[in-house]
Amino acid sequence: MSNSFLNRFLKRNTRHEITELYISVAIKNFAFSMITIFEPLYLYKLYDSISIVFLYYAIVYTIYFFLLPFGGKAAAKYGFEHCIFYSIPFAILYFLSLSQIPNHSWMIFATIIFVVIHRILFWPSFHTDFAHYSASESKGREMSTMASISITATIIGPIIGGIILTKYGFETLFIIVSIASLISIIPLFATKENFKPHNFSYKKAFKRILKPYGRYKKKNLIAYFAFSEEAIFFIGWPIFIFLILKEFYLIGILMGVSALFIAIINLYVGKLSDKYDTKKREQLLASSASLYSIFCFLRPFVGGWFSVLFIDLFSKISKMGIKYPIFTYIYNGGGRRKDFLEYIMFFELSLSLGRIILVWSVFFISLYLSGFTFWFTVFALSGLWAFLFKSAKF
């Protein structure tokens, strides 16, 4: 890939803090990509129950929702990069405890504790760190740069993960992912974090959700709420395609090929997003949400590796047209370039509330439906959920 090609898409003179974040996230995403697609499959094979898998994640998302503002308080007190650093040991403990469930069944409760702590420390700090240091005039390009670097790093991740699973099993994969995750924190401290502690209110964070006001718009709460649909893509889609393809390595290869195309297309979409005005971004969002919804409805009809790749790839492409307009607005603090953490928390809580409602709903659906009827209902629900993106206003 030539320098002239790269310079067309990557922003020049990027701040050191963003460069460190690029590298750290790329390493972390490579590590996590080896296991992410297989994580729900691990629980499914362990308990042989789709209902239990959705129940597990429903509990995780519920606890995460109520503890999330404590992650905001930690970020406000200790700094964003420090919280990202603190989150990684809990991710490692999570993976290691997952590996021990077959030997000690009670470890399932430890995994819930570790993954929740990891996420409340990581996600608010990650989003706020990016929002704080990225340039306001090129959010879309910097977002696409980070996404493409991360996705490029994950092209071989699922393939390697699938091969390791096939030859050595989950326990070995969890250990390798833990080691790679530890390496990801090294780039964050290439430069000293410029941070001033400030107060963050747990009570006000929930008040903005219950009674939106000012830049915390009710319509945007609904749009952020819609991002909870990704829980279906994360939990249900891997199990569904495993029931069709049966082989870990084949799933890994297909996800790697999909990531290769997405890494390239990401650069174009991010650059395009920066050129669009508010009206065009809302139009891009509306058309992309409709397209994404169609692919959600098509998911239960896939029957082989080609159709799996086709639906996975074009679902992700249409999702880009949703993510970039919305996240450009979010990373600009909801139209106000300060108090980033407060607005990021508004987004995260809205998303988490949607996850609670959606995943608990799927759990109860799984108690009464099975087979094609269950999968059609679940994917149709995610398709209907996608229409909520259209409520976003910039």
Q: List, as one string, the DSSP characters of 326-393.
A: HHHHHHTTTT-SS-HHHHHHHHHHHHHHHHHHHHHHHHHHHTT--HHHHHHHHHHHHHHHHGGGGG--
CA distance 358 to 236: 12
% of the chain beyond a pLDDT of 90: 47
Residues of the chain with pLDDT under 50: 1-10, 12-13, 135
Number of H helices, E strands in the chain: 17, 0
Tokens 């993106």 belong to residue: 389
Tens of pLDDT along 71-89?
Answer: 999 999 998 888 988 999 9
pLDDT value at position 12? 47
pLDDT value at position 4? 44
Q: Is the dihedral of CA 118, 178, 80, 83 positive or negative?
A: positive
Closest by Cα among 180, 159, 164 to 29: 180
pLDDT value at position 350? 95
Whole-structure pTM value: 0.89
Tens of pLDDT along 140-150?
Answer: 555 656 666 66
Q: Is 393 exposed, middle or buried (0-12, 13-18, 19+ CB in 10 A)?
A: exposed
pLDDT value at position 37? 86
pLDDT value at position 180? 86
Domains in the chain, CATH or no CATH each = 15-190+215-391 (1.20.1250.20)
pLDDT value at position 66? 96
Q: Provide the CB-side half-sphere exposure for 253 (13 A, CA).
A: 9
